[in-house]
Each structure stands twice: as C-alpha cells, then as structure tokens.
Structure 1
Amino acid sequence: MAGQRQGGGGEQSPPLLVKIVMAGESCVGKTSIVRRYTDPGSPPAGAPTSSYLATIGIDFKVKAVTFNDTRVKLQIWDTAGQERFHTLSTSYFRGAQGFVLVYDITNLDSFQSITSWMRDIHEKAGDEVDVILLGNKCDKESERVVPKQKGEKLAWEHGIPFFETSAKDNVNIEEAFSVLTKYILEKNSCLLYDLDVVALNESKKRTCCAF
C-alpha cells in the first residue's frame, strides 16, 4: 500500500491526484452520487434525487481524502449520459485511473447499456483501469426491475466490484469510492516503488562515477 512520501526537510509531498470518471446513462443518479460523496450534507434528508437536472456536458468535483497515510485528491468527473453528449463525455475517459459505472435498478435499459459503456471505457482508457459497478436507487425497491443477482453476475463477468447504492439514503456511497480508491492506490504504490528504485539506482551510478 502506498504511504506518504517525504521530501527534503521532512516536508510532505503534494497529494496524489487521481482522476475518476462517472459513466452511465442519463438519469441514473450519477450527479446525485457525486454530490452525496463530495458534500454529504447534500441533498437534504428526504429530498428526491430526481430534483437534480441532468448534467449538461461535463462537470467535476474534488474531494481530498487520506487513505492508509496517503494523501489523495480525487478529481471526480461527472459526464452526461445523453446520446448527444456521448462523444464529448467519452473524450474525458482518457487519462482516468478509475471509473464509477452506474445503472438505475428501476430502469432496464440503463442496465442493458452497461456492456456498451464498458467497451467505451476499455477503448478510451485501456484495459488496466479500475472500474466499479453501482446499481443505484436501491431505496426504490417497489419499482425494481433489475434483480440484484443480475448486477452481481454482470460485475463478476467483468471482474469488477459491485454495490447497490442509494444517493437519497446514502447507502454504500462512501464504501464504493473507498474500494475504488484502494484499488487505484494499490496499483499506484507499485508505480511509486518502481520510480523510487530507478531513482536510487541512478543515485548510486552518479556516486560511483564521482570517484
């Protein structure tokens, strides 16, 4: 696991910047999930998540977290799900370390589109990025059309974590982002270790050549 890296004089290194992108069809609750995570006081208790307007184009929020002594700044991009914004939305997939892929448990079409969104993620961001799948609006159990087992099976087929969430009732939002951040940092810790080894070897070479 990555730890804090100290600079000269014991100063802390700057936070690790991590780009996370929300993906999924329109009106599945991506914006509500982001707002609930980055600002736990919003929406007010009991406020319907549908009161949020559909994202027009792109928006992003920033949340600073500390994970196992590693300071991280999460830059969470909220993309529009409407077809007319698809090219714009997927253009922001490049350079992302993680994706939160969302469907609405009361909307079968949003679930059936997940495979297409996964394909977009792999095409634009590569096969090594970390993805989690969220079945949102689990507070609307009486309106459910996508069984939880279907979400679990789809996630298993893609080898990614799965959560059923509710932005309205704040169910599994924090847990989902924590798992995604953990996986991203595990990969990043290997990268940081490799860079430290290279730097150490270069330092040794310069020291040897000085004599």
Structure 2
Amino acid sequence: MASGGGYGDASQKIDYVFKVVLIGDSAVGKSQILARFARNEFSLDSKATIGVEFQTRTLVIQHKSVKAQIWDTAGQERYRAVTSAYYRGAVGAMLVYDITKRQTFDHIPRWLEELRNHADKNIVIILIGNKSDLEDQRSVPTEDAKEFAQKEGLFFLETSALESTNVEDAFLTVLTEIFRIVNKKSLVADEEQNGNTGNLAGKKIIVPGPAQVIPEKKMMCCSS
C-alpha cells in the first residue's frame, strides 16, 4: 500500500529515486498536475513552460522511501529537440491530454511513439485525461480513452488538477508499479544467486530495473 509523503522532501534516507516524465500537447495541464502533486498548488494564470523543469516529492511505498523526480517539458513543437536527454533514465511516463480538446487526444499516439522510440522499453506509462471538472465541455468520451489505453497496455485515469481529483492516484499508480517491477527484478536476482551458489559464489548479480534507477547519492548535480 502506498501512502503519500509530505510536500517537502523529508530528511530520511532515500531508498529509490524514480524519474517520471510528463508529456503531451501544450496547455493540457501538465504543469498544473505537477504543481498539484509536488506542492499541492494550483494556479489559474499558469504560464507556458519554457524548456524543461522538474520537481521532487518523497513518498513511502511499502515502507521504503521513494523520491519521485517529475520532469515537465513544454508541449510546443519548437522544444522537441529536448527529447533524448529528457527521456534518459525515465522509469515512468504520464501521457496527458485535455478531455475538452479532441485534438490533444488525437495526438496521443504520436507522443506514445516518441516515448517508445526514446525511452526504455519497460517504462511504466499512464494515460491521463485532464480537466475532468469541465464535464460539460467534454469532447473525448472516457470509453475512447479507456479502449486506447487497453489496446496499448497503459494505465488510465481522468484527473482534475483544479479540483485535485485523481492526481495523487495517478502518480501513485505509476510509482507503485515501478516499485513492484524493480523489486521483482531484485527478487529474481536473489533467487538466482541463492539457487546457483556453486557457479556464482562471490559474484553480485545486478539486474537492471525497468530503466535506470538512480541511487540518491549520485544525484547531487540535479537534486532540488
């Protein structure tokens, strides 16, 4: 069971750092989703993100301290050059569209393709239909998105950064799944080590996680 941490990074030992990227068209609310999750804030006059920024929040998942490092980038085409560096090391991705703008949903396959071209193949992806508070302006039926998510093997939730609906759940879904995958790989390594002690004596097996899981002490260049 995952439980939310505070909005500032606690001083406890960090067991894992998971990099999660937010992608999708401009103005779908990526920065608002991030602000709601990282600081529990929402701004009505949000400015467009220029380039890339990231924020962190530490949570406890199954008694382990997990630092989520959430990256947010401008959805405008002119910032597309940022891609490969942006995706490097990401273990989770949130693919965001606006339920009131059909075009933002129609672009999701393109964003997904870009993600699969640049990110690790085991990255955990959730499709997010944001602005669920604007039900009267909806142009993307929930069923359409659910069907697409099932076909592509993605998690799916509709959120409202404004009303704080499902934002926490969306991040916890991704982070808990990453945690499960990483720990399952560790378990496999332990079993292999214990089961084949003869030829593996003295060797430490390192099984890669779904992508790069970065130990906290190596993050000094980029910790906030």
TM value normalised by structure 2: 0.78
How far the C-alpha of 1:90 sits from its partner, in A, is 4.8
- How big is each residue's C-alpha offset from its partner over 1:144-179, in whole Å with a ceiling of 9 and x where there is no partner? 111111111111111111111000000100111111
- 2:88 aligns with 94
Q: Distance in 2 between matches of 1:30 and 1:125?
A: 19
Asked whether the equivalents of residues 57 and 89 of structure 1 are also in contact (C-alpha less than 8 Å), the reply is no
Deviation at 1:27, TM superposition (A): 0.3
Q: Kindly report which structure 2 residues correspond to 1:107-146, keeping only aligned pairs within 5 A, or say none.
A: 107-146=101-140
Question: Structure 1 regions of 5+ residues with no counterpart?
Answer: 2-11, 207-211
Partner of 1:38: 38
The gaps in structure 2 that reach 5 residues or longer are 2-11, 203-224
Q: How far apart are the structure 1 equivalents of 2:91 and 2:201?
A: 33
Larger helix share, 1 or 2: 1
2:188 pairs with 1:205: no
Indicate conservation of the 8 Å contact 1:19/1:95, yes or no: yes
Equivalent residue, structure 1, for 2:23: 23
In structure 1, distance between residues paired with 2:78 and 2:137 = 28
Residue in structure 1 matched with residue 164 of structure 2 by the alignment: 170
1:73 and 2:77 matched: no
Query: Is contact 1:90–1:120 with CA below 8 Å preserved after alignment?
Result: no
Contact 1:58–1:89 under 8 Å retained in 2:
no
Distance 1:56 1:95 in 2: 21
Cα deviation 1:3-43 (Å, max 9, x = unaligned): xxxxxxxxx86420100000100000000000000111x12
Contact 2:14 2:67 in 1 (8 A): no
Is the 1:79–1:89 Cα contact (8 Å) retained in structure 2?
no
* Alpha carbons of structure 1 residues 28 and 90: separation in structure 2 relative to 1, 3 Å: farther
| Alignment root-mean-square deviation, CA | 2.2
Instruction: Tell me the equivalent position of 2:212.
Output: none
Describe the SS at the equivalent of 2:28: coil
Inter-partner Cα distance in structure 2 for 1:66 and 1:147: 34
Deviations 1:41-75 (A, max 9, x none): x12xxx53xx1111100000000000111210000
1:88 to 1:114, Cα distance in 2 relative to 1, 3 A: same
Whole-angstrom CA distance in 2 between matches of 1:184 and 1:193: 14
Q: Secondary structure at the match of 2:164?
A: coil
**Cα drift, residue 94 of structure 1:** 2.0
**C-alpha displacement at 1:195, in angstroms?**
4.4
TM-score of the superposed pair, with normalisation by structure 1? 0.83
Aligned sequence identity (%): 35
Cα distance in structure 1, aligned partners of 2:50 and 2:186: 36
Structure-2 separation of matches of 1:139 and 1:14: 35
Q: Paired residues, what number?
A: 190
Give the match's secondary structure for 1:77: strand
Cα separation, partners in 2 of 1:90 and 1:32, compared to 1, 3 Å: farther
1:198: Cα distance to partner?
A: 6.6
1:205 & 1:15 partners in 2: Cα distance?
26
